[in-house]
Amino acid sequence: MNQATLQASTRVADRLYRKRRIINRISIILSCAAAIFGLFFLAWILWTTLSKGLGGINIALFTQDTPPPMQEGGLANALFGSAMMCGLAILIGTPLGIAAGTWLAEYAGTRKIGLVIRFVNDILLSAPSIVLGLFVYTLVVSQMGGGFSALAGAIALAFIVLPVIVRTTDEMLRLVPSQMREAALSLGVPQWKVIVQVLYRGASAGIVTGVILALARISGETAPLLFTSFGNQYWSTDLTQPMASVPVVMNQFTASPYESWQTLAWAGALVLTFFVLVLSLIARAILHRNKISHD
């Protein structure tokens, strides 16, 4: 290679290096700007929720029912209703989701039917919650003649929980090393025992995390409950009757002209935000502990 060719190659390399440095700096600047933009609005939302909701946090919020217009009260019945419906949704969705995710990971594998079911599950995972609420309204509330009820609300929330747990279980089980399956099967252990005693133990942290994140997601859902559980101003423990929930009460109270109702709505928003934060921290702690134990 002569001197002229070497110098030309060096100039091309220098121009390419400078171009890459410029593109890299622009990418870093745009990424930082996008992160700052998102964090700014997140901090704004959190500060607004904290500043407007902190004044409504008191004992009455957790001990008194939702009040009539222009009267003081709390969200005791709504908090109880949310806990009941979310808990029942988790009880319905968790075993079904774990069973479906196990079948996808251990039996369907990469077969065509497994790919189709995963695709359908991903569609359900991203489906608007109001669509699921309308579906349950048509299927349970309207067709079966049961009317609005907490059970219908729990079923609607279970449809939101189900694809999250299916996806999490499927992914976590497929991450378990195949050597663990082969070692257990080589000892003559039945496959169902391998799944229950070996694979579930290895994937337990991820599966539990998926359940917690599913609970965090449904705790603030409003649209499905508007079409199913509807709401109730009074304390109710009957699952076959309408039941109050914090998101529905917030939706009702924020649109009202009464200051006491608006204060309760912001207090409910703050309680839900704190609840979701706690669940997220628990999920992070479980994953972190599992990572340390594996390392």
pLDDT per residue as tens digits for the range 104-151 = 998 887 788 888 999 999 898 888 999 999 999 998 888 766 689 999
CB 218 within 8 A of CB 153: no
Looking at the predicted structure, is the pLDDT value of residue 40 above 60?
yes
Mean pLDDT of 193-222: 89
* pLDDT score recorded for residue 162: 94
Nearest 5°: the CA angle 72, 75, 78 is 145
Residues 6+ apart with CB under 8 A from 265: 249, 250, 253, 254
Contacts 24+ apart (CB under 8 A), 138-147: 140/228, 141/227, 141/228, 146/240, 147/242
Nearest to 53 by CA among 265, 259, 251, 277: 265
pLDDT for 109 equals 73
- Amino acid in the structure at residue 167: R
Fold of 59-294: MetI-like fold (1.10.3720)
Give the pair of three-digit tokens for residue 3. Answer: 């001197």
Residue 101 near residue 170, CB atoms below 8 Å: yes
Cα–Cα distances (Å) from 204 to 39, 168, 171, in that order, read 32, 11, 12
Answer whether residue 96 shows pLDDT above 80.
yes
DSSP state at residue 69: T
| Phi then psi dihedrals of residue 197, to 5 deg | -95, -20
Q: Note the Cα 15 to chain centre separation in Å.
A: 48
pLDDT band at 186 (very low <50, low <70, confident <90, very high): confident
Domain-by-domain residue ranges, the chain? Answer: 3-56, 59-294
User: Side-chain half-sphere of 12: how many Cα atoms within 13 Å?
Assistant: 6
pTM of the entire predicted model: 0.85
> What is the structure's pLDDT at 254?
87
Which tens digits make up the pLDDT trace of 164-182? 999 999 999 998 888 888 8
How far is the CA of 2 from the CAs of 8, 11, 14, 143, in angstroms? 10, 15, 19, 86
The Cα 248–Cα 228 span in angstroms is: 11
Per-residue model confidence (pLDDT) at position 146: 65
Confidence of residue 38 (pLDDT cuts 50, 70, 90): very high
Q: What is the pLDDT of residue 44?
A: 94
Helix axes 150-175, 129-136, angle to 10 degrees: 130
